[in-house]
Amino acid sequence: MNNPESNKPFVPKQALAPTPQLYHQLVADGMENLAKVTVAELASERPIVGASHLLDLGCGTGAGTSAFVGAVSKEVASDIGIKGVDINQAALDIYKKTTSEQGWPAEAILGDANKMDMFTDDTFTHSLATAMVFVLPDNADPAIKEMYRTLKPGSAAALNSWAYVPNMHPLRVASRATRPAGFPEIRGAMDQWEDGSFLQARIEEAGFKTHRVVQREVFAHTTTDIYHQANMLWSFIGGTTASGWIESDEERWDEAIEIIVAELRKTDGYQKLEGDKLRLKFVAHVAVAIK
């Protein structure tokens, strides 16, 4: 789920496994809130009505599908169909479980966003990729072209990317301070998405007729204290560069965590809540594009 760029076997003994459960605890309600604002923009452009066919691409454990269902009445929800596509079976297992518990009108499909042969052209009335495009290779161009191909003419797709992420700078400071010079920057490929014009260019490249991009603030309310948050962050993302984890990461684990905690406290997006919990502010670019 954490999209590592290396398959080196070494993992520091302190690192928590990057499971969907850890992802859930790490992002708290942040991804759900991002999905909600993105679906709201999509539905304002093309209302979700009965008989709609919706795609939740890179659905993960279901933040986008939950937002789809939350955006419509019970009557409409019983008359729409959602396909949740993801490449990660563990995430889809949770998606399926929630689908049956919540009664979502959804089907989980194991597949690659870059090649969605299971869908014919012009299938969907709404297409969503939330917290998704910036984890894909090739600037997400093949996947966004597949979104375009599978969308009905005149229908809308919604995509988002981050303009500001409060926890990226703390992770990078910790990595630079505890690792050798020249070590790859953590999530270096994400920087290009900070400028909304990069997302716009991808949408135009895919062939969409029109599009608009707005900025939205998104808040995450963590359920754990800052130290556990820092531990989860370093565990989930610290080893994802092309150089993976290195042996010294184990010896310098506590040092890295102290740096992440100190830097998080300094960021504009950080606020301490009662009970040692945190509120983190993110800023997203939200795009709606019409085929």
Q: Interface with ligand SAM by CB under 6 A: which residues?
A: 1, 31, 35, 58-60, 63-64, 85-88, 91, 112-114, 130-132, 135-136
Between 91 and 220, name the residue whose CB sits nearer to ligand SAM.
91
Least CB distance from residue 63 to ligand SAM, whole Å? 4
DSSP string over 113-139? TT--TTS-TT-EEEEEE-S-GGGSSGG
Minimum gap (Å) between residue 140 Cβ and ligand SAM? 9
Closer Cβ to ligand SAM, 89 or 100, answer by number? 89
Residue nearest to ligand SAM (CB): 60
Residues 6+ apart with CB under 8 A from 74: none
Smallest distance, ligand SAM to C-beta of residue 142, A: 9
Task: Determine the distance from the C-alpha atom of residue 230 to the mean position of all C-alpha atoms in its chain, rounded to a whole number.
Answer: 19
Between 25 and 114, whose beta carbon lies closer to ligand SAM? 114
Nearer to ligand SAM, 160 or 178 (CB): 160
Minimal distance in Å, beta carbon 177 to ligand SAM? 26
Q: Decide the pairing of beta strands 124-129 and 270-272.
A: unpaired
Q: What does the block give as tokens for 82?
A: 């959602």
DSSP 28-66: TTHHHHHHHHHHHHHHHHS---TT-EEEEET-TTTHHHH
Name the minimum Å distance from CB 213 to ligand SAM: 18
**Closer residue to ligand SAM (CB): 131 or 230:** 131
Helix (H, G, I), strand (E, B) or coil at 213: strand
What is the C-alpha to C-alpha distance for residues 170 and 234, in angstroms, rounded to an integer? 10
Nearer to ligand SAM, 15 or 35 (CB): 35
Tokens of 171: 């992770």
Q: Min. distance of Cβ 32 from ligand SAM in angstroms?
A: 8
